[in-house]
Structure 1
Amino acid sequence: MMNMKKLSTIGVMFLTIALILAACGTKSSTPGKPSESPSNSGTEMNVLYYVNSTLGDKSFFDSAQAGIDRAVKELGIKAKTVEGGANSADWASGLEAVVASKKYDVVVVGTSQMIDVTKDLAERYPDIKFIFFDDLIEGVPNVYSMLYSQSEGSFLAGAFAALVTTSTELKGANPDKVIGFVGGMDIPIINDFKSGYEQGAAYVDKDVKVVTSYVGDFVNAPKGKELALAQIDSQKADIVFGVASAAGLGTLEGANEKGVYSIGVDANQNPLYPGSVLTSMLKNVDQSVFRALEMLSKGDLPLGKGEVLGIKEGGVGIAKDELYEKYVPQAIRDKMTEIEDKLAKGEITVKSSL
């Protein structure tokens, strides 16, 4: 028979083993991976990003993709992107097909052209959450939407263009006070860009004339270039603002070939043609898409509501990178800082055409 001392020693051993096992049970079952907080359900999200166009525009749709990519990396979500193509007649059926598959918990989609189909699908598939960007859908309980104040951002672009066309320091600026605007399509949201652009130009110099053309879609870069060249050659524009997604790349190319200036859109396009693309009007789509997915992962996304993101909220702005510092004269940079500050403080009011 064991003596009491030996039994006591065995008991201590079992107690020690039990404590070690209990401690191990609090750790993640995956080596090297920390346990997740119950409030962060990001890894459970299966996200579909539907592009009602194609990627490769180096601006709007690519910016949203960058936000998705960041969420995959930092939030641990799963994501797939489906490109709808250039034919707008295919977009509604294309989006419905992926939603109806019920493979995705969250659908990210944007632009005013997709409002009606998104509302319809959200109502028919109430278990799927929709993050809608670039316009507002309110009152639908499973939709969160965000609109960028493109009129405010374009006000900055217009003010900048007016400062460039009246500059005596920039070699590509001519004596004519003419600036160009090339839009993708003649639709309300593009015309809100145009309205802000015109207001910004008038704020700097009421004699500056804005000439306008529309591509007719958002993918035809050769047409975007052709329109920009016409504005430069025939109407004497020395700076052009292209608001046309992939088609706008042609606008930037045309300005560069002619030795004049351009303004990029949605993402920082300054590096595409350094010294010709002097700045870019930023719609921070990437940041806002990531922000929405992060809020959703934490349970903080205000579904059923929409937000308008302006300069004050960091939703829009202009690109001020090292190329901006290198090629834009100090006097123009100083004036732009002054205008930005006034807009953020509400000392300048920009009217939206929407």
Structure 2
Amino acid sequence: MRRKKGIWVMMAAIFLSLLAGCSGADSPERQEPANAEKPYKTPAPNEYLKVVHYVSGNLGDNGFFDSADRGLKKAEYVFGFETSSVEGGEDSAAWEPGLEKLAASGLYDVIIAGTSKTREVVKELAVRYPEQQFMFYDDTIQGIPNVYAMICSQSEGSFLAGAFAAMVTTSPELSGANSDKKIGFIGGENDDIVNDFKSGYEQGALYIDPEVQMVASYVGDFVNQGKAEELAEKQYLSQVDIIYNVAGYAGFGLLKAGNEAGKYTIGVDSNQNPLYPGSVLTSMLKNMDESVFRALSKIRGGSLPFGTTEVLGVKEIGIGIARDELYEKYVPNEIKEKMKDIESKIASGEIVVKSTLNGIAQD
């Protein structure tokens, strides 16, 4: 087992890395803002921007918040934007006043925020401060002319994770796999977004083998590593041999449990493979770093479609799995080839992944 110090050094290294993402891909078809007669005016091309990222939690999750923040820092490096990040902490009561303080200050051209927990707050503040631009990620906001929202298709990415898990669970080439067709899922909270992950995961598993069974558990939050570790241990004792981590910061606990049990896990949002090489076999990547960078680039050029939500999936390279040197080393070739085939079929539309979110919600 790797020493604890080494794990945290590796986490820091992953935090600083830039993932290849969707900035070079074609974007989904542009949607006209709901207020089409008076669309929100984005800055003129090449205009200097001051941008702040409000994190409804803490950085250091080696996941979604860190990924979005890397996109912000990339924009600072490439375009010379002035950027900053504000950590709101885990007390949700502090998020609304924290975001309002930024909006009321008038200091920022763009405020970036994300996740379903702050969706209603951002909607209310956008109406209250109509001159303030908001960029929102990981949930939908429609029809508010000074808000642009984007979501990576977690259902498509999770389909890939489920297909992968279904092939791993009975693989004769992996010593930690058993003959039982049981795969695990551990989410942070039992909410709509997490359950969209779960749905895609199950669809992918059943695509490979209709007899695969999924065991699902929820931590109750996204921070309790001890609870996530306990849930994972129980799943492994029930003959689950691979678990999909959709638990944010708490997910470090389940990754640790997988490594200690000699079993397997699938990381989420960012590449978590290096945390426990050979145990974390791959990670489902929401390439939010490049999605944030892409959006800031479009704001700079005056072409971001405010008032709408864009969905970035496998085709747009907003979603994928981590294929690093560890993936190449530990994953059997047959599984790797099948994953390429499945990804290609999703991108072409041959495989259609259903989302429990029913597309983009109209607000």
TM tier, smaller: 0.7 to 0.9
Give the secondary-structure state (helix, strand or coil) at the position aligned to 2:243.
strand
Letter of the 2:284 partner, please give it: M
Partner of 2:61: 57
The alignment's TM-score, normalised by the length of structure 1, stands at 0.87
Q: Within 5 Å, which residues of 2 pair with 1:167-178?
A: 167-178=171-182
Partner of 1:322: 325
Picking from 59, 68, 73, the partner of 2:72 is: 68
Q: Within 5 Å, which residues of 2 pair with 1:102-181?
A: 102-181=106-185
Shift of 1:92: 1.7
Q: Which has the higher helix share?
A: 1
Give the secondary-structure state (helix, strand or coil) at the position aligned to 2:58.
coil
Letter of the 1:221 partner, please give it: Q
Give the secondary-structure state (helix, strand or coil) at the position aligned to 2:178.
coil
Letter of the 1:216 partner, please give it: G
Q: How far apart are the structure 1 equivalents of 2:228 and 2:104?
A: 36
Q: How far apart are the structure 1 equivalents of 2:341 and 2:205?
A: 15
Q: Within 5 Å, which residues of 2 pair with 1:275-294?
A: 275-294=278-297
Letter of the 1:59 partner, please give it: G
Q: Within 5 Å, which residues of 2 pair with 1:213-228?
A: 213-228=217-232
Aligned pair 1:40/2:32, yes or no?
no
Picking from 335, 338, 353, the partner of 1:335 is: 338
Picking from 263, 266, 284, the partner of 2:266 is: 263
1:168-224 CA distance string (max 9 Å, x none)? 110000111111101010000000000000000000011111101111111111111
Tell me which moved more, 255-264 or 91-100.
Answer: 91-100
Shift of 1:303: 1.1
Partner of 1:187: 191
Picking from 291, 309, 312, the partner of 1:309 is: 312
Q: How far apart are the structure 1 equivalents of 2:224 and 2:159?
A: 26
After the TM superposition, which parts of structure 1 deviate over 6 Å for at least 4 consecutive aligned residues?
A: none
Q: How far apart are the structure 2 equivalents of 1:278 and 1:189?
A: 24
Give the secondary-structure state (helix, strand or coil) at the position aligned to 1:130.
strand
Letter of the 1:285 partner, please give it: M
Partner of 2:255: 252
1:7-57 CA distance string (max 9 Å, x none)? xxxxxxxxxxxxxxxxxxxxxxxxxxxxxxx7211xx21111011111111
Give the secondary-structure state (helix, strand or coil) at the position aligned to 2:111.
strand
Aligned pair 1:240/2:246, yes or no?
no
The alignment's TM-score, normalised by the length of structure 2, stands at 0.85
User: Bigger relative contact order, structure 1 or 2, given CA contacts below 8 A and separation 6+?
Assistant: 2
Shift of 1:138: 1.3
1:47-103 CA distance string (max 9 Å, x none)? 110111111110111001111110111111111111111122222222112222222
1:236-264 CA distance string (max 9 Å, x none)? 11001010111111111110110100000
The structure having more radius of gyration, on CA atoms, is 1
Q: How far apart are the structure 1 equivalents of 2:267 and 2:342?
A: 19
Give the secondary-structure state (helix, strand or coil) at the position aligned to 1:174.
coil
Give the secondary-structure state (helix, strand or coil) at the position aligned to 1:278.
strand
Q: How far apart are the structure 2 equivalents of 1:100 and 1:224?
A: 38
Letter of the 1:186 partner, please give it: N
Partner of 2:276: 273
Shift of 1:225: 1.1
Letter of the 1:314 partner, please give it: I
What 5-or-longer segments of structure 2 have no aligned partner? Answer: 1-43, 358-363
Letter of the 1:353 partner, please give it: T
Partner of 1:14: none
Give the secondary-structure state (helix, strand or coil) at the position aligned to 2:352.
coil
Aligned pair 1:93/2:97, yes or no?
yes
Letter of the 2:87 partner, please give it: E
Q: How far apart are the structure 2 equivalents of 1:346 and 1:166?
A: 28
Q: How far apart are the structure 2 equivalents of 1:348 and 1:335?
A: 14
Shift of 1:337: 0.8
Give the secondary-structure state (helix, strand or coil) at the position aligned to 2:265.
strand
